[in-house]
Chains A and B, each alone.
Chain A
Amino acid sequence: MIDTRVSIAGIEFKNPVTTASGTFGSGREFGEFVDLNRLGAITVKGVADKPWQGNDSPRIAEVYGGMLNSVGLQNPGADYFIKEDIPFLRQFDTKIIVNICGHTIDEYVRVTEKLRSADIDLLELNISCPNVKEGGMAFGTDCKMIEKVVGAVKKAAAQPLIVKMSPNVTDITETSKAAEAAGADALSMINTLTGMKIDIYRRKPVLANKIGGMSGPAIKPVALRMVWQTAKAVNIPIIGMGGISDAEDAIEFIMAGATMVSVGTANFSNPTATTDTISGIEKFMEDQSIKNLAEIRGII
């Protein structure tokens, strides 16, 4: 018998697979194709204390083996999320991870406070979005800023806190250690890498925002390397992500040291990528006689 359960900060998940924030909404749309009860957790799209308009279109550009996005965290705000999305998500037997965003420390704290009494399982602090001018990545690339924002949010939070790390840094183990020291219960990595595409016929960037975040299979080796390095540098669990499209990718991240994994951009090329990944992990465990994922976690 295989046991796919994992736990982070005392919360138990039925399996290690969740969704990467921003690729799965709050689950409604993908619920037409995916049995949401199968997922270890649903990590929802970023929520701010007030509604955000996001950036101008075009917000999407395909690149070799991946894509760029510059959505800019358009979201209807915490009040709407609490009223509409939490009751929807609670119909399913899965855990809820709420990704939170802000422009300032005050905004991060305000959305955290609004979620204090909400029926959710964990928070994921987005300090690494490359598409938001103030806040976003600016918080996630400087150790002093990371300590300030993580410390403030941790103090305000009622749920365990995951901090989502930016790959757009010289040494991700340094920023990760700063997040751990400031009270992070877990880390998720990586957010998108900043990138660009130019339309040579129009002589203009394809994205209205000029630059965006790159995701998809092409970034997987970078993400895997960062998870592997960080797993050796910190003592808190890691949720690995970045180009995970199937169970083989997911198992690579687990062997590199991740406790959970997130499926993101793959949802766009294959709407059942999340459940396909779960089935694939189960089959791998059976074929390889792995009883518990702890047997292979961080073995590299």
Chain B
Amino acid sequence: MKFIEKGTVIKNENIAPNIYDLSIRLPKIAKEAACGQFVEVYPDNGTNLLPRPISICETNGDSLRLVFQVVGSGTRLFSGLKSGDGVRVLGPCGNGYPLTNAKSFILAGGGVGVPPLLETAKRLKKLGNVNVYLGFRSHPFLTEDFEKIGIVPHIATDDGSVGFKGNVTELMKSENVQADIIYACGPKIMLKSVSEYGEEKNIPVYVSMEERMACGIGACVGCAVKIKKDNGFENKKVCKDGPVFDSREVLWE
């Protein structure tokens, strides 16, 4: 079940270049949210019409933590939100990561794809062994939050300024990591390489996809992703059928 709630901002901090850490009191959505789901945040400024889909980083009691990157005018507006401000939010949206009976997990995140893996790690820790691999351009963020829940993440940076020099899939390859299942979130090119890694090692991979959206609830059919069907494909909706898909079903281009 989804809700439209007028939330109150609890805090909003700049934690890395262009990355903001926003907590909003949203009791109904926070109670309902599963890991890997997202919310639609409304700019409500009269010119930016469409809500922005943002992944859920953490649910803390009656509040949601959203860690997002400023990529345009809408997210720039959200970066200016201050404690006490009101903000309209719809959610939780999408399917989230499937919770299976697997016992060992790899979470692979790239850049602003890292945030939803924090709540996922919190929940999976109760089910088995969790290994976290995170890739960043040069400024890691949220790594201490993983440490706080008892998981030391393996870090890769493109420029080698922190941890392994290279991308997250190269880091996973260098350590030859194994698990029952991989959950990944990040740019498409990274999701594709993680999915190839999974195929090589015979590990199922669930990827969280991204696409430009309008409604966020499955009505407008704006956020199509190609999913294999027979010898061709069919267009599924990232917002409703996803954002999480079995990587073997995705038609990678």
Check B77 for interface membership: any CB of A closer than 8 A.
Answer: no
Binds A, one of B144-152, B173-181, B190-198, B220-228: B220-228
A199 to B: closest C-beta gap in Å: 11
The one of B47, B74, B212, B234 that contacts A60, using a Cβ cutoff of 8 Å:
B212
Closest to B1 in A: A32
User: Which of A53, A265, A269: most chain B Cβ within 10 A?
Assistant: A269
Check A66 for interface membership: any CB of B closer than 8 A.
Answer: yes
Residues in A neighbouring B233, C-beta threshold 8 A: 53
Check A295 for interface membership: any CB of B closer than 8 A.
Answer: no
The one of A58, A60, A62, A267 that contacts B219, using a Cβ cutoff of 8 Å:
A267
Q: In the complex, are the beta carbons of A58 and B49 less than 8 A apart?
A: no
User: Which of A57, A217, A267, A272: most chain B Cβ within 10 A?
Assistant: A57
Q: In the complex, are the beta carbons of B42 and A58 less than 8 A apart?
A: no
Residues in B neighbouring A267, C-beta threshold 8 A: 215, 219
Interface size class of A (residues with CB under 8 A): 35 or more
Q: In the complex, are the beta carbons of A217 and B90 less than 8 A apart?
A: no
Q: In the complex, are the beta carbons of A58 and B51 less than 8 A apart?
A: no
Q: Given A29-B217, A59-B212, A271-B4, is A54 in contact with B235 using a C-beta cutoff of 8 Å?
A: yes
Q: In the complex, are the beta carbons of B47 and A268 less than 8 A apart?
A: no
Closest to B218 in A: A29
Residue-wise, chain A 34-60 has the 8 Å CB interface mask toward B (1 for contact) of 000000000001000000011111111
Residue-wise, chain A 244-274 has the 8 Å CB interface mask toward B (1 for contact) of 0000000000000000000001011101100
Residues in B neighbouring A87, C-beta threshold 8 A: none
Residues in A neighbouring B218, C-beta threshold 8 A: 25, 28-29
User: Which of A33, A53, A62: most chain B Cβ within 10 A?
Assistant: A62
B242 to A: closest C-beta gap in Å: 12
Check B48 for interface membership: any CB of A closer than 8 A.
Answer: yes
Check B29 for interface membership: any CB of A closer than 8 A.
Answer: no
Chain B interface residues (CB < 8 Å from chain A): 1-2, 4, 42, 47-51, 74, 90, 211-215, 217-225, 233-235, 240
For this complex, 20 residue pairs linking A to B, each with C-beta atoms less than 8 Å apart, are A23-B215, A23-B220, A24-B219, A25-B219, A28-B218, A29-B218, A32-B1, A54-B221, A54-B235, A60-B50, A62-B49, A62-B74, A65-B49, A69-B214, A69-B220, A71-B221, A74-B224, A267-B215, A268-B214, A268-B215
